[in-house]
């Protein structure tokens, strides 16, 4: 018997549309798997079983009456626990923040429900979305499904969303990305994850970390499935990724000029680029206008100062109840003033202009997603946040980017490659990402 939870979204959608499977049956299968596996993977913080069943019954009635809403009709979707869902609380991964019950859905959730998606639950996350390892000592750390022997970090801050999809607990999930928080868990769990252009996707009723950086993004097992969710999120009518009918000129970021990273990551990135050249992709050298140390120091001010504005009172009143890493980061960020942040926003505007000039004649950029393969939980240093080294630059320079699964390693982990595009070139990034995903399919890491 085929495992329905591992169907692709198109397969599941077609089975529902044609009546091969009912929405109710489909939802029940996913709920059973969540009930069986969630204690191990720790992906979901809350599961909305009764609501999902009621919604499934309603959607089955619609199909019986000739109404099919589209490719998300009856498809279960998980939502990060910093996004409002009507009649539920969103604490942003905290035990210290009140779970105020939302009186309405966030606009992005309403769009997905209108498209026929079934919101099946809230997922675990790094507290306040303020960290990249995916850890949370307050509410628990989800387990990376790519390693059943060791507890490896799931990547964050959308840790539970990434784990839920990778473990087959749900086909699709929403995360949020402030400095890589969709792309990092996508990379760590062998998924596709997209950071849209700022302003494209509604971000109302989202617990903020840094409002000008925060964006909601989709996560899925493939680029094509990611598109299905993104299309509904952005109110697009295209059911499949638009085809780019011209030869693209793609920059290959100079890793050595940007920073110093794992030899395995650098070798895998070079191998991927060689494979793409062999497939006819036009690759040219590219350098960012700044190095990693500067990106990290400038984003630390912008994100940290705003994080203290939002959560500083909790730090002052109940520090013992916070995640240890988040406690440290908030405490450290207290040194940044509003004036510091105001000055840094002006510097950022200059760098965005420089990047726009630097990308003239370049359609997209390739870059690894993670600087290292996801380590074991007992190997990490909580106070460091290296997993965002290669992703924060996208948010800082106001770009869009996709994390695309790449080589499989001997341990069963996956390398990941970022496809980075100019602000507003989301469709182009999807088109190129799909091409790259196909070109790298089956590629193994060379020792």
The residues that are catalytic are: 80, 157, 181
CB-CB contact of 336 with 308 (8 Å): yes
* 123, β-bridge pairs: 44, 80
DSSP states of 208-254 as a string?
Answer: -SSTTT-EEEEEESSHHHHHHHHHHHTT---SSPPPP-SPPEEEEE-
Element (H, E) at 395: helix 392-396
Burial 276-297 (b: 16+ CB within 10 A, else e): beeeebeeeebebbbebeebbe
For residue 263, what are its two tokens? 């030899």
User: Which residues, at least 6 apart from 381, have a Cβ–Cβ distance to it below 8 Å?
Assistant: none
Residue 316: Cβ-neighbour burial (10 angstroms; 0-12, 13-18, 19+)? exposed
Residue 382: Cβ-neighbour burial (10 angstroms; 0-12, 13-18, 19+)? middle
Strand 249-253 versus strand 364-368 pairing type: parallel
User: Which residues, at least 6 apart from 28, have a Cβ–Cβ distance to it below 8 Å?
Assistant: 53, 56
- Count of CB atoms situated within 10 Å of the CB of 196: 23
Place of tokens 């169907």: 7
């Amino acid at each position: 018997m085929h495992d329905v939870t591992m169907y692709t979204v198109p397969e599941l959608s077609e089975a529902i549309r044609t009546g091969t499977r009912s929405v109710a049956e489909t939802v029940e299968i996913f709920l059973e798997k969540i009930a069986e596996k969630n204690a191990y993977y720790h992906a979901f913080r809350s599961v909305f079983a009764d609501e999902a069943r009621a919604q499934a019954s309603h959607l089955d009635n619609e199909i019986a009456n000739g109404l099919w809403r589209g490719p998300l009709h009856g498809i279960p979707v998980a939502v990060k626990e910093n996004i409002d869902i009507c009649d539920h609380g969103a604490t942003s991964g905290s035990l210290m923040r009140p779970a105020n019950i939302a009186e309405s859905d966030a606009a992005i959730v309403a769009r997905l429900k209108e498209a026929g998606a079934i919101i099946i639950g809230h997922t675990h996350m790094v507290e306040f979305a303020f960290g990249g390892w995916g850890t949370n000592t307050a509410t628990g750390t989800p387990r990376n499904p790519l390693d059943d022997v060791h507890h490896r970090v799931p990547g964050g801050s959308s840790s539970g969303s990434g784990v839920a999809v990778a473990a087959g607990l749900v086909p699709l999930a929403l995360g949020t990305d402030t400095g890589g928080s969709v792309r990092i868990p996508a990379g760590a769990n062998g998924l596709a994850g997209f950071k849209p252009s700022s302003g494209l996707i509604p971000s109302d009723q989202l617990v903020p970390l840094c409002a000008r950086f925060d964006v909601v993004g989709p996560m899925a097992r493939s680029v094509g499935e990611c598109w299905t969710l993104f299309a509904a999120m952005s109110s697009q009518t295209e059911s499949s990724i638009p085809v780019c009918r011209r030869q693209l000129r793609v920059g290959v970021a100079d890793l050595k000029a940007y920073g110093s990273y794992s030899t395995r990551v650098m070798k895998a990135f070079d191998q991927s680029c060689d494979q793409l050249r062999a497939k006819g992709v036009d690759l040219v050298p590219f350098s960012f206008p700044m190095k990693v140390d500067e990106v990290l120091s400038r984003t630390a001010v912008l994100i940290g100062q705003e994080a203290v504005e939002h959560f500083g009172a909790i730090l002052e009143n109940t520090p013992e109840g916070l995640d240890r890493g988040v406690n440290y980061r908030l405490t450290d960020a207290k040194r940044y003033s509003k004036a510091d942040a105001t000055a840094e926003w002006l510097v950022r505007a200059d760098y965005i202009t420089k990047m726009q000039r630097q990308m003239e004649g370049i359609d997209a950029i390739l870059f690894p997603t993670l600087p290292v393969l996801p380590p074991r939980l007992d190997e990490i240093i909580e106070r460091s946040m290296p997993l965002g080294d290669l992703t924060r630059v996208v948010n800082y320079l106001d770009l869009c980017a996709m994390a695309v699964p790449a080589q499989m390693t001997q341990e069963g982990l996956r390398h990941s490659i970022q496809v980075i595009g100019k602000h507003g070139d989301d469709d182009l990034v999807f088109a190129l990402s799909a091409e790259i995903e196909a070109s790298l399919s089956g590629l193994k890491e060379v020792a």
